[in-house]
Amino acid sequence: MRGLRFLAGGILAATLAFPVGNVLGASDQGAAKPGPAAAPSKKTYRWVGCGITKKAFMKELAAAYEARTGVKIEIEGGGATRGIREVAAGKADIGGSCRNKITGHPQELGAELRPVAWDALAVIVHPDNPVSDITLDQIRGLYLGKIRNWKELGGNDAPIRLYVRRGKISGVGRAIRKLVFADYDVEFKAYKVVKSSGPLEKAVEKDVNAVGITGISSARKRKVKILKLEGKEPTFENIRKGEYLLYRPLYLVLNPNHPGYAELEKFVKFAHSSAGRRVIRENGTVPYLEALRLVMKEVEQEKRARERGLYRR
């Protein structure tokens, strides 16, 4: 039961609450209900949020939707928390997030999250780094400052420079804390803290001794080396089949009180359509509806993290 509670407000709840035909979604109980279907719409909407989703497929998905409907979606970044909270506050029309809502948080109650794709957490290093594989236990050692030299991982005799995202509620940072440590409050021992996934990825491209974790959906578009995790690569098929260990959903964020809710919901439905899924797939990301088996595997991820606890040598 604890595993299911850990997932509260997450993907399992979304799957049970919304039949596939109506496009899967999740919102807190008591959140405002959608307004009338005839609410006015406009031709341009503003999307803010998760940089990984933005780089993965959002520009291409928005362009395909505009070509089909004439409705333009302007894309900005800013991170998952911005994607949830600005939409909830009515400051943005639609958002993107690579984490679910923080249960009960007042700034996130008004947001409605719709999963549209699956992403994996990828450990990235500079292309010249000789290390090719890493274990979950070694990741724990890195983030707790127990492993400090690349030779401990089979690499060069050089200091490890770990780059991490700022704060504990970023999409990547929260996912690492959940899936690797089962502890949302664990402190990371970083060489450098950066404001978003973009700067983290760029730093690893330039620093031969750097390492970091980001989403595979954006990492594959960078000049970095992606490490195997426990011998498995975060390939499209390994993620789709649930054979890679660390993955999470990517969401679109709506506000049921937005005057253009009906139009924005059409965009979510487009993302789940055969045409929308093709765009997501062609960008190397797994469409949500094509890997529903991963919903229950998230419980296994959380259980595995709890059983292994913090760093053990």
Q: DSSP letters along 116-132, please?
A: EEEEEEEEEE-TT----
Residue that is last in its domain, among 213, 230, 245:
245
180 and 250 inside one domain: no
How many CB atoms are closer than 10 A to CB 183?
13
Q: Is residue 308 part of a domain?
A: no
Contacts of 35 by beta carbon, 8 Å cutoff, 6+ apart: 256, 257, 258, 259, 261
Residue that is last in its domain, among 230, 245, 260:
245
Q: How far, in Å, CA of 77 to CA of 183, rounded?
A: 27
DSSP-assigned states of every residue in 51-80: HHHIIIIIHHHHHHHHHHHS-EEEEEEE-H
Q: Is residue 110 part of a domain?
A: yes
Q: Is residue 261 part of a domain?
A: yes
Residue 307's pLDDT is what? Answer: 73
Residue 20's pLDDT is what? Answer: 39
68 and 153 inside one domain: no
Residue 19 domain boundaries: 2-119+246-301
Which residue intervals of the chain are DSSP H helices?
A: 2-6, 11-17, 51-53, 59-69, 80-88, 136-143, 171-176, 197-206, 216-219, 236-240, 261-272, 274-282, 294-308
94 and 210 inside one domain: no
44 and 137 inside one domain: no
Residue 171's pLDDT is what? Answer: 87
77 and 161 inside one domain: no
Q: Which residues lie across from 294 on neighbouring strands? A: none
Q: Is residue 309 part of a domain?
A: no
292 and 253 inside one domain: yes
pLDDT tens per residue across all 313 residues of the chain? 333 333 333 444 344 333 333 444 443 333 444 444 444 446 999 999 998 899 889 999 999 999 999 999 999 988 899 999 999 999 999 999 999 999 889 999 999 999 999 999 999 999 999 999 999 999 999 999 999 999 999 999 999 999 998 888 888 899 999 889 988 899 999 999 998 888 999 999 999 999 999 999 889 889 999 999 999 999 999 999 999 999 899 999 999 999 999 999 999 999 999 999 999 999 999 999 999 988 877 777 777 777 766 555 3
74 and 210 inside one domain: no
111 and 254 inside one domain: yes
Q: Is residue 138 part of a domain?
A: yes
205 and 288 inside one domain: no
Domain count, the chain: 2
The CA angle 44-53-129, to the nearest 5 degrees, is 145
Look at the pTM and tell me if it is higher than 0.85.
no
CATH of the domain at 38: 3.40.190.10
111 and 251 inside one domain: yes
206 and 262 inside one domain: no
Q: Is residue 46 part of a domain?
A: yes
Q: How far, in Å, CA of 117 to CA of 104, rounded?
A: 24
Residue 3's pLDDT is what? Answer: 37
Q: CB of 246 within 8 A of CB of 139? A: no
Q: Is residue 312 part of a domain?
A: no
Q: Is residue 307 part of a domain?
A: no
217 and 256 inside one domain: no
